Chains A and B, each alone.
Chain A
């Protein structure tokens, strides 16, 4: 006796197929929608790559690592801007400590330093990032709360006012370095406080800690026109930054560690800006601190001990 072939269980099979169909379509629809909703992330595709993601901390890079990193940066900049840059890793020199002096009697508030700095250091043009803020204050006071930075008269200097450019003061005891949770910013032995833009996590603690409003944050992707890109770059200096990292004045590291004056100094039409090695007694900054009548450190009472001095002529 042979058993009849088992009849296909039509009802259960039909129920299964409907359920699996529903499940399948729900899953398909869900995944499609998920993919669509994640599509804005595609814009971030060049935000980071594996090589950059796996890059070590600046202080842990061996010379060989650094060579590779500089080559990667050069490649990235060329791809993005069509200009082959020369990126260097310049180390502080022995027996050199930089100091900046600014003559408040001479400054006429023309803001040429602001724009020379932007041009030298490849800051974003839109939105604008500027390291130098020129404050206008009435004669006879030094009240920063009453300072105006958006002045735009036809001609400068205006009678009754003086001008005070403020930028990173390169403090001896920098509060911004103290608060950084990842040690992405530190003070080098020539006095310049630098930032490893590939190590910065963008928490902006340093911006809050700085009493001089000297640090700037890249809220959006920086926008630099190709024809204004400065190809002479340094790793800790003016190489193009990415969205979400801090930046600030670094005394034009790509120039000063190669022996040249900062860009803001060379453009100053009245010679109000003075820069040099304080450890050299014959430098102009040593002369100024020794001979000039008055000099102030901005917000001296904060105990930050800036390497940026303001002085007067008469």
Chain B
């Protein structure tokens, strides 16, 4: 037909019909494929578990004496004279290496404040004359609810940073001109006074990549 120089009048109609028929067939085939979903959809989504709510917690990991008072909780741990005798400083015993022997009543205490045992004495901070208070080296007595004063007497730069808001945790309002709109955590909310180094913790899960990494890449990611 293409070679014929002058196509007859019927050729155009026949060609149109052929074209329409062909198109119809194509559309029918397409419809069939789409309804049967023959070439499939995107790869199925991988199952990503929701992150554990413990990683969303904003509460500090320790409670201070002040927190316990505020929450009206059990303060029996701070009732020193329930066991100790008044006006009689508790004795401190040392082992052969000049390290403090922790009495079994206080077995939960780890003496880890300061390297090289430089802070190897209970009465650097506790007041032997009145166990219900703490003492600063210059003789001042501070209560259990006012620890930054005590800690700051040795850790001056850190105390300065903490007062300026650059050390430690703050929550609430960034506008500090509004009194009472923000909360500044105290030293003992994060640091255990007997072992102040912050312990290691479990990290939240890493991102889930769209492509599941091969075992080789995975082992490279783990140290």
Contact = CB atoms under 8 A, between A and B. Distances in A.
Given A115-B55, A270-B198, A32 B190 contact: no
Interface stretch (B28-36, B84-92, B101-109, B112-120): B28-36
Interface string B19-57: 011011001101100110000000001111011000111
A89 interface: no
Interface string A104-128: 0000111110111011000001111
A155 B200 contact: yes
- The number of chain A residues touching the other chain, given as a range, is 35 or more
Interface stretch (A45-53, A242-250, A261-269): A261-269
Contacts of A150: 206-207, 209, 213, 221
A225 B202 contact: no
Size bracket, chain B contacts: 35 or more
A23 B185 CA distance: 82
Contacts of A277: 174-175
Given A33-B31, A155-B201, A260-B174, A111 B166 contact: no
B206 A154 contact: no
A33 B201 contact: no
Contacts of B55: 110-112, 115-116
A40 B223 CA distance: 46
A191 B149 CA distance: 37
Contact of B200 (A37, A156, A282): A156
A303 interface: no
B171 interface: yes
A30 B17 CA distance: 13
B204 interface: yes
Interface in B110-161: 161
Contact of B190 (A39, A157, A271): A271
A148 interface: yes
A111 B176 contact: no
A54 interface: no
B172 A260 contact: yes
Interface stretch (A56-64, A74-82, A194-202, A283-291): A283-291
A66 B222 CA distance: 50
A173 interface: no
B172 to A, nearest CB: 7
B172 A271 contact: no
B222 A29 contact: no
Nearest to B199: A155
A262 to B, nearest CB: 9
A266 B168 CA distance: 11
A68 interface: no
Interface in B174-223: 174-176, 178, 181, 185, 190, 198, 200-210, 213, 221-223
B24 A29 contact: yes
A116 B27 contact: no
Contacts of B30: 33, 36-37
Contact of B204 (A34, A39, A112, A126): A112
B174 A256 contact: yes
A30 B23 contact: yes
B165 to A, nearest CB: 3
Q: What's the dominant secondary structure at chain B's contact region? A: loop
B209 to A, nearest CB: 8
A128 B207 contact: yes
A272 B164 CA distance: 14
Nearest to A263: B58
Contacts of A158: 223
A275 interface: yes
A260 B173 contact: yes
Contacts of B80: none
B203 A153 contact: yes
A152 B50 CA distance: 17
A142 interface: no
Nearest to A112: B55
B81 interface: no
8 contacts: A119-B56, A156-B201, A259-B178, A266-B169, A271-B168, A276-B165, A277-B175, A283-B165
Interface of A: 19, 22-23, 26-27, 29-30, 32-34, 36-37, 39-40, 108-112, 114-116, 118-119, 125-128, 130, 133, 148-158, 225, 228, 256, 259-261, 265-271, 274-277, 282-284, 287-288, 291-292
> 10 closest Cβ contacts across the A-B interface?
A33-B27, A284-B165, A36-B31, A111-B204, A155-B200, A271-B169, A33-B31, A287-B164, A156-B203, A26-B20
Given A126-B48, A275-B174, 11 more contacts: A40-B34, A111-B55, A126-B45, A128-B207, A151-B222, A152-B206, A155-B202, A259-B181, A269-B169, A269-B201, A271-B190
Interface of B: 13, 17, 20-21, 23-24, 27-28, 30-31, 34-35, 45-48, 50-51, 55-58, 60-61, 161, 164-176, 178, 181, 185, 190, 198, 200-210, 213, 221-223
